[in-house]
């Protein structure tokens, strides 16, 4: 399967934007709203907000691209296997890290 370099660039921009969101969030939350620093942090933070929806969009497009032939002939059993595989790969790590986060907050 051919690698889509455009999506590599898009994902790189999104990674940078997510880092920028995290870096600027403290300043937006703590600086005086009338200061120039607050305004700069706010602008950078808000301009980076495209990152998460773009990651979701890119993931959907890439999954559709990778499995395009499978989706044309998919059966109910195949669809169940497709979602079960993704569920097993996503939900357990999500639950584990949620518990770690909750435990660290105690």
Indicate yes or no: pTM above 0.85: no
Tell me the residue ranges of DSSP E strands in the chain. none
The C-alpha atoms of residue 103 and residue 19 are separated, in whole angstroms, by 25
The C-alpha atoms of residue 88 and residue 95 are separated, in whole angstroms, by 11
Residue 1 — pLDDT band, cuts 50, 70, 90?
A: low
Burial category of 50 from C-beta neighbours within 10 Å (exposed 0-12, middle 13-18, buried 19 and up) = middle
- Residue 71 has a pLDDT of 65
Segment 29-86, tens digit of pLDDT: 999 999 999 999 999 999 999 999 999 999 888 888 887 776 667 777 777 887 888 8
- Residue 64 has a pLDDT of 81
Residue spans per domain, the chain? 1-66, 74-106
The C-alpha atoms of residue 92 and residue 30 are separated, in whole angstroms, by 34
- Residue 11 has a pLDDT of 92
- Residue 85 has a pLDDT of 86
């Amino acid at each position: 399967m051919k690698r889509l370099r455009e999506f590599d660039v898009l994902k790189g921009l999104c990674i940078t934007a997510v880092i920028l969101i995290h870096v600027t969030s403290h300043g937006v939350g703590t600086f005086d709203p009338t200061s120039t620093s607050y305004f700069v942090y706010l602008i950078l933070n808000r301009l980076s907000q495209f990152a998460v929806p773009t990651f979701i969009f890119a993931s959907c497009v890439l999954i559709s691209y990778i499995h395009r032939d499978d989706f044309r002939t998919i059966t109910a059993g195949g669809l169940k296997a497709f979602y079960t595989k993704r569920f097993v790969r996503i939900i357990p790590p999500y639950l584990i890290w949620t518990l770690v986060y909750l435990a660290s907050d105690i």
